[in-house]
Amino acid sequence: RRRCLAIARAGVDPPRAVAAPPATAAAELRLRNWAIDSWRQYDALQQPVYPDAEEHRRAVEEIKRMPPLVFAGECRTLQAKLAQAAAGEAFVLQGGDCAEAFADLNANRIRDTYRVLLQMSVVLTFGGGMPVVKMGRMAGQFAKPRSAPTETIDGVELPSYRGDIINGAAFDAKSRVPDPWRLLKAYNHCASTLNLLRGFSSGGYAALHRVTEWSLDFMRATENGHAYIDLAERVKEAITFMVACGLDLNTPLMKETDFFTCHEALLLDYEEALTREDSTTSLAYDTSSHFLWCGERTRNLDGAHVEFLRGVANPIGVKVSNKAEPSELVSLIATLNPLNTPGRIAVVTRMGADKLKKHLPAFISAVKNSGQVVTWICDPMHGNTESVNGFKTRRFENIQKEVETFFDVHETMGSTPGGIHLEMTGDNVTECMGGGAQISEDDLNSRYHTHCDPRLNAEQALELAFYAASRLRS
């Protein structure tokens, strides 16, 4: 009955959804045919070729001996929250670097991205009146899918940089050779990042009464920084009032927050090595991260990534552009979520505002007609990348436009806008143009630090949160 209700709230016709779920027996049969390494029988795109297979095997064996990074129970908590978002009772905020880099691992950077996510979450909760499910593209976002296997600069052709977990970004032949020991280094970076994130979330830093202290110094002078301080002061006033009424600031609700991690499940050796059987449910969980997604370039139905992900019990995402057919999306969801469990699948659309307006309605109709429950998330970054003065960049106005279109289309279709997925950082970078700070073409080279795609800086990210909050409220 609860499932019926969730389906009804997600805008799906309940009798149909219940009458025609994907065949359970067939689903179970398929799952029985799944094994932690069954993906090896399928075509695995975007995987590196290591020069020394024996050394690679030894590195993977070491990861298999390492403790899990996240726990199955946490993944189940997240899945329940994503089910709420599918039903319009929560909103998902996913954000962080396009690609994390080994050289960038330091406490201040992690804190700064974390606190912008906290700020955005307060804006969405207070301004939008909605609980926020926070997920960092952090502690694992190290592998990058590439459009081309090689890169040519000044007539020199080298293998593409595939993320720090695989090879080095420097443009020289040695750096670009895949090094299996990077797998272990990535694991260790994830462990220390996650340790700090857990500390921030439960050690008092994220306590709600500190809401006015999360502001970043360089933000105080900005328009959106001001807007945040105003809102934070109102939140603080409300808390003071509630404390006077008897609210205990020492309850976990006030003192702690839930923060989850996510990354693209791209490098399958690594994901397999961290997949473990949960002692409570006997299901396989990929313990590298709470949430994993299948990228636009690796979501083919007969590919290794889909095979791997269909068998792990974590909540998962699928990125889709206009290149997918609605029927293909429906098959993909049925394969990944044969029991139609709410919260299990997030569909992350990424195609640019104009294409979203044109294609999203057909995706929504197809999913609705098949009775599938999904959490719809908008990635307004990957369909809006362009090249200006030799820099890969994105315009804030296009990013906001895609979020606007996402809300508009869901409103028209009677479906639920469940969240946003952003590439962003707490640093004061100049990688995306526009926004309140009016970053211009000429500003791009001033603080362009990304290792892959351009990110929103703290002010731009906050501005977008204010916009999304205004749409949630209306």
Query: Does residue 432 touch ligand PEP according to CB under 6 A?
Result: no
Query: Does residue 98 touch Mn ion according to CB under 5 A?
Result: yes
What is the pattern of x (binds ligand PEP, CB under 6 A) and - over residues 160-179? Answer: --------------------
Q: Which of 426, 406, 332, 408 is nearest to 374 (CA)?
A: 332
- Cα distance between residue 167 and residue 103, in whole Å: 13
**9 touches which of ligand PEP, Mn ion, none (CB within 5 to 8 A by kind)?**
none
Name the residue nearer to ligand PEP (CB basis): 141 or 337.
141
Instruction: Give the shortest CB-117-to-ligand PEP separation in angstroms.
Output: 16
Interface of this chain with ligand PEP, residues 326 to 355, rule: CB under 6 A: 350
Binder of ligand PEP out of 145, 300, 328, 471 (CB under 6 A): 145
- Cα distance between residue 306 and residue 290, in whole Å: 17
**295 touches which of ligand PEP, Mn ion, none (CB within 5 to 8 A by kind)?**
ligand PEP
Residue facing ligand PEP at closest CB distance: 295
Instruction: Give the shortest CB-325-to-Mn ion separation in angstroms.
Output: 24
Instruction: Give the shortest CB-5-to-Mn ion separation in angstroms.
Output: 36
**182 touches which of ligand PEP, Mn ion, none (CB within 5 to 8 A by kind)?**
none
Q: Considering only the stretches 25-33, 79-87, 201-209, 290-298, report the one whose residues sit in contact with ligand PEP under the rule CB under 6 A.
A: 290-298
Query: Does residue 319 touch ligand PEP according to CB under 6 A?
Result: yes
- Cα distance between residue 402 and residue 456, in whole Å: 14
423 is in an annotated binding site: yes
Query: Does residue 437 touch Mn ion according to CB under 5 A?
Result: no
Instruction: Give the shortest CB-423-to-Mn ion separation in angstroms.
Output: 5
Query: Does residue 98 touch ligand PEP according to CB under 6 A?
Result: yes
Name the residue nearer to ligand PEP (CB basis): 297 or 357.
297
Query: Does residue 263 touch ligand PEP according to CB under 6 A?
Result: no
Name the residue nearer to Mn ion (CB basis): 297 or 344.
297
Q: Residue 208 corresponds to which amino acid?
A: L
Query: Does residue 432 touch Mn ion according to CB under 5 A?
Result: no
151 is in an annotated binding site: no
Number of residues that bind ligand PEP (CB under 6 A): 10
CA 74 to chain centre: 16
Name the residue nearer to ligand PEP (CB basis): 87 or 264.
264
Site for Mn ion, rule CB under 5 A? 98, 453
| Residues tagged in the binding site annotation for Mn(2+) | 98, 382, 423, 453
| Residues tagged in the binding site annotation for phosphoenolpyruvate | 137, 296-297, 319, 350
Site for ligand PEP, rule CB under 6 A? 98, 145, 264, 295-297, 319, 350, 382, 453
| Residues tagged in the binding site annotation | 98, 137, 296-297, 319, 350, 382, 423, 453
